[in-house]
Amino acid sequence: MRNPLNDPLVLRIGRSGGLSRRFNPRTSLVLGCAVPLLCLLGLYGVTWGAPRLDLGDVVRTLTGGGDAGERLVVGEFVLPRVLCALAVGAALGLSGALFQSYARNPLVSPDILGVNSGAALVAVGSLVLFGGSWSTLPPGAFLGALTAALLAVLCSRGRGLSPYRLVLVGIGVDALCRAGVAFALVQGDIGQVQAATVWMIGSLYGADSDRALFLGVLLALLVPAALALRRPLVALRLGEEAARSVGVRTTATRAAALVVATLLAAGAVAVCGPVAFVAFLAPHLARRLCRADTPEVLPVAMAVGAALVLGSDLLAQHALPVVVPLGVVTPLLGGPYFLYLLIRANRHGEVA
């Protein structure tokens, strides 16, 4: 097992018994390259979404110029979708990294712990069984995700909140919610079932400025909390006793990571549906880019998640013969990588 004291981001117990960190230039370099690349990708995403406008028209419109038609197309239709894609990806990437840090398991994600299926159960049930509308999907999905996570936590509590019990209980909660979704789809009208199925696949259809604002506020509140957990989560790699010896409140740290990760996943799923594999894939790619462990690469996981969602949405809209939902493309990226991880684990006896 790799000694965490040899990692780029190092925990050292000094004379004062406190924690200290050594600067990791590779992580900062990756993040410094990722941010401008994301800006360029977002700019071209706006251009591709408004095919009658070239890059100069888009830049002029974004800086306050352009005529009324250009401002309407960019400001009301194209830009909110791009911003929602970036925010959803950042939220899912950060949520997945926190879940994997919490469980110390690189295969854990909100998809496995029942967060996504809980959101789908309430959203699809309200749409299919109770005649809800598209406007009721985001709040219903948010409530369903939080309820599923709370149920998993309550059922896994024993002597403390064990990550292993939580994963096992989360798989059970996920199975129950999926059964409820299947029941709702069987009982519903064909038109409502079709609409619910598109949402369950994961789509940015209906992304608007209100949803972009909601995600922006959510990220503004939760990202600082997540980044504040980096050092305690790194300390937990040394084990419970070692982390306590340097002043880390292990139970509070795990609980805070779980709450922040659940809220991030719930917010993302509420806007675009349960998009598969992004929360799982982004932390893995971030670790490989930075050559560091999960708690150290939380900002990079956000950037990778944002690039995955926006890139997948652009591919879904423009690269295929027909326009498909976002959630059709992300499994095509995540599935082969997941198989690669399993093959690598079988050969080397580890998963990372």
Nearest-angstrom CA–CA distance, 276 and 114: 12
Radius of gyration of the chain (CA): 21
- Six-digit token pair at 137? 């999907």
SS3 labels along the chain: CCCHHHCCCCCCCCCCCCCCCCCCHHHHHHHHHHHHHHHHHHHHHHHHHCCCCCHHHHHHHHCCCCCHHHHHHHHHHHHHHHHHHHHHHHHHHHHHHHHHHHHCCCCCCCCCCCHHHHHHHHHHHHHHCCCCCHHHHHHHHHHHHHHHHHHHHHHHEECEECHHHHHHHHHHHHHHHHHHHHHHHHHCCHHHHHHHHHHHHCCCCCCCHHHHHHHHHHHHHHHHHHHHCHHHHHHHCCCHHHHHHCCCCHHHHHHHHHHHHHHHHHHHHHHHCCCCCHHHHHHHHHHHHHCCCHHHHHHHHHHHHHHHHHHHHHHHHHCCCCCCCHHHHHHHHHHHHHHHHHHHHHHHCCCC
CATH code at position 197: 1.10.3470.10
Q: 120 and 181 in contact (C-beta within 8 Å)?
A: yes
Q: In the chain, what percentage of residues exceed pLDDT 90? A: 26
- Residue 208's domain comprises 4-348
pLDDT digits (tens, 9 = 90+) for 162-197: 778 888 898 999 999 999 999 988 887 887 888 788
Which amino acid would we find at residue 186?
V
Count of structural domains within the chain: 1
Q: What is the mean pLDDT of residues 284-297?
A: 86
The answer to whether 102 and 259 have CB atoms below 8 angstroms apart is no
| This prediction's pTM | 0.87
Residue 67 has pLDDT above 90, yes or no: no
Among 7-21, 195-209, 327-341, which stretch is predicted with the lowest mean pLDDT?
7-21
Write down the pLDDT at residue 214: 92
Of 15-19, 63-67, 101-105, 334-338, which gets the smallest average pLDDT?
Answer: 15-19
The confidence score (pLDDT) of residue 2 equals 45
